[in-house]
Amino acid sequence: MPEKAKDYHRGSSRKAWQTSKLSSNGEFSNDPIVGSATTSTSKVVATTIPREGLDDDDAYPVLSLMTVARLVSNVVHEVNSPLGTAMSSSQTALRFLPPQFPPQLATCIERTISSVGHASDAVRSLVRFCCPDRSLLQAFDLRDVIRFTVLVAQSSESDKLCAIDLQLPPVPSVVLGNPIAIHMVIATLVWNAKESGASRVCVEIVPHADKYEICIVSNPLNNISLDTSPALTSPSEELWEDVHGMARQDWICQIVREHGGELAHVRRPDHTVDAYLRLPRDRQEVA
Amino acid sequence: MHDKKKLLAADDNPDNLQNFRDILEDEYSIVTTTNGLDTIHAAVLFRPDIILLDVTMPGVNGLETCKKLRSLRTLKSSHIILVSARAMPYEQKAGMCAGADVYVTKPFDEIELRSTIRRLLARTYAGSDVVQLATANRKACPGERTPEAVPL
């Protein structure tokens, strides 16, 4: 077993590093611990991408999308709040307007209401633009999202105390959905694995016939006992601060569910925890 | 003369609370609060038929408040309407997952708000399944702890 693998496993056999071990011949076998068989037909050479090898350009499409979505969410909130007050106040003013007031005043208020309505329509269009119907969701490469997530997770010096290794297949791992939302899910898992005291975290994509499995392996999760391990998927305050006011904990499951995926974790006897995010492949890619 | 139905409005912006009063005071007996904790206390004491709840509030936010209110047996027949400037679809879904009956996005038309409240009340007094609907909404949302699922 490679030195790195020993760091993770302390002598136990672990899926992520089995993959690493098998990468020389490019074949997977059944995982004896988790018990989920990876398909032998999907031959993928798992490679560890060095941190230095990551280019900001790789993450640019996802970064720009994420920035736009966050910006829109906040702008919509900031615009809708005063619009709401203006609309309600104007309607109330119109209702309480005594008959002896000049008709021009009523016309002015009606014009205000109409303008607020137009502004509100514009905001709705913006929301529709950013959150299209599911049928219009885009196909994206999971690898880009994961690379971007790692870039964000290692953006400061203190973040680099915990090494993050990537094992990504050389071919695109295409799923259909919202890359920003998936980034938030993966980032949450990685963040919490890091913050739990792990010295290394491994993020790996394991392709299956009909889905991709994103494994987030961290060892050791020193601060997570069996009782507190739910924290593994509790969204990080730091990560979710700009969605203040929402029920953050519901979002992770909701996002995964909306993508037809599932989230699971395995607790090992050695107190290590693996998180698994499974997302269906894009049907066109399967076809 | 019939008794007015009771309405509890929670919003951290006093202007919005005044607007609620202006719009609804003629039809409903209104109590207002400006944060989540006060809302929970007021709801237990006041037992409102309708709760208008802002999402973004200091301290305990609207969604947490909504969840808490839904967990209280004494408020099972109360209807919760989340009124928020947050308009993204996933934000609305989060609101429904928290147990709201309706999610109204600002700016709203006062006629729309009035009719929404009346509709909810009418369904209650017609013995409809509003409560069941809200329960179904919550069940359709993830978050229940199961041995297999990741507990959130």
Q: Cis bond leading into A220, ω under 30°?
A: yes
Find the helix or strand (DSSP H, E) in which B8 lies.
strand B5-10
Q: Name the domain boundary from A134, A164, A189.
A: A134
Task: Give residue B147's pLDDT.
Answer: 26
Domains and CATH numbers, chain B: 5-140 (3.40.50.2300)
Domain span at residue A47 reads 3-63+135-286
Please report, in angstroms and rounded to a whole number, the separation of the first and last CA atoms in chain A. 37
Residue in chain A nearest B57 by alpha carbon: A245
Residue B51 CB-density burial (10 A; 0-12 exposed, 13-18 middle, 19+ buried): buried
Whole-number Cα distances in Å, A240 to A91, A148, A185: 36, 16, 11
Residue in chain A nearest B12 by alpha carbon: A81
B144 close contact with A: CB closer than 8 A: no
| Predicted confidence (pLDDT) per residue in A219-243, tens digit | 544 444 434 444 444 444 433 333 3
Task: Give residue A183's pLDDT.
Answer: 82
Q: Identify the CATH number of the domain in which residue A17 sits.
A: 3.30.565.10
Whole-number Cα distances in Å, A91 to A45, A202, A214, A270: 64, 57, 52, 64
Residues 227-256 of A with CB under 8 A from B: 230, 232-234, 244-247, 249-256
Q: With a cut of 70, say whether residue B107 has pLDDT above it.
A: yes
State mean pLDDT over B83-95. 82
Task: Give residue A9's pLDDT.
Answer: 35
Cα–Cα dist A233/A265, whole Å: 9
Interchain CB distance below 8 Å, A263 and B93: no
Task: Give residue A229's pLDDT.
Answer: 41
CA-CA-CA-CA torsion sign (B27, B33, B35, B38): negative
Best A118, A250, A251, A254 member to test B by mutation, with max B CBs in 10 Å, is A250
Q: For residues A155 and A256, state if they share a domain.
A: yes
Q: For residues A27 and A125, state if they share a domain.
A: no
Task: Give residue A64's pLDDT.
Answer: 55
| Predicted confidence (pLDDT) per residue in B20-69, tens digit | 999 999 999 999 999 999 999 999 999 999 999 999 888 888 988 998 99
Q: For residues A227 and A239, state if they share a domain.
A: yes
Torsion-angle region of residue A11: left (phi > 0), alpha (psi -120 to 50) or beta?
left
Q: For residues A282 and A186, state if they share a domain.
A: yes
Task: Give residue A200's pLDDT.
Answer: 75
Q: Which residues of A touch B100 (CB under 8 A)?
A: none
Q: For residues A170 and A127, state if they share a domain.
A: no
Q: For residues A231 and A113, state if they share a domain.
A: no
ipTM for the complex?
Answer: 0.73
Residue in chain B nearest A134 by alpha carbon: B89
- Does residue B139 or residue A159 have the better pLDDT? A159
Q: For residues A33 and A75, state if they share a domain.
A: no
Q: Which residues of A touch B57 (CB under 8 A)?
A: 245
| Predicted confidence (pLDDT) per residue in A9-18, tens digit | 333 333 322 2
Q: For residues A127 and A250, state if they share a domain.
A: no
Please report, in angstroms and rounded to a whole number, the separation of the first and last CA atoms in chain B. 49
Q: For residues A59 and A152, state if they share a domain.
A: yes
Q: For residues A126 and A259, state if they share a domain.
A: no
Secondary structure, 3-state, chain A:
CCHHHHHHHCCCCCHHHHHHHHCCCCCCCCCCCCCCCCCCCCCCCCEEECHHHCCHHHHHHHHHHHHHHHHHHHHHHHHHHHHHHHHHHHHHHHHHCCCCCCHHHHHHHHHHHHHHHHHHHHHHHHHHHHCCCHHHCEEEEHHHHHHHHHHHHCCCCHHHHCEEEEEECCCCCEEEECHHHHHHHHHHHHHHHHHCCCCEEEEEEEECCCEEEEEEEEECCCCCCCCCHHHHHCCCHHHHHHHCCCCHHHHHHHHHHHCCCEEEEEECCCCCEEEEEEEECCHHHHC
Q: Which residues of B touch A181 (CB under 8 A)?
A: 90
Task: Give residue B69's pLDDT.
Answer: 93
- Does residue A178 or residue B34 have the better pLDDT? B34
- pTM higher than the cut 0.80: no
Domain count across chain A: 2
Q: For residues A145 and A17, state if they share a domain.
A: yes
Q: For residues A94 and A188, state if they share a domain.
A: no
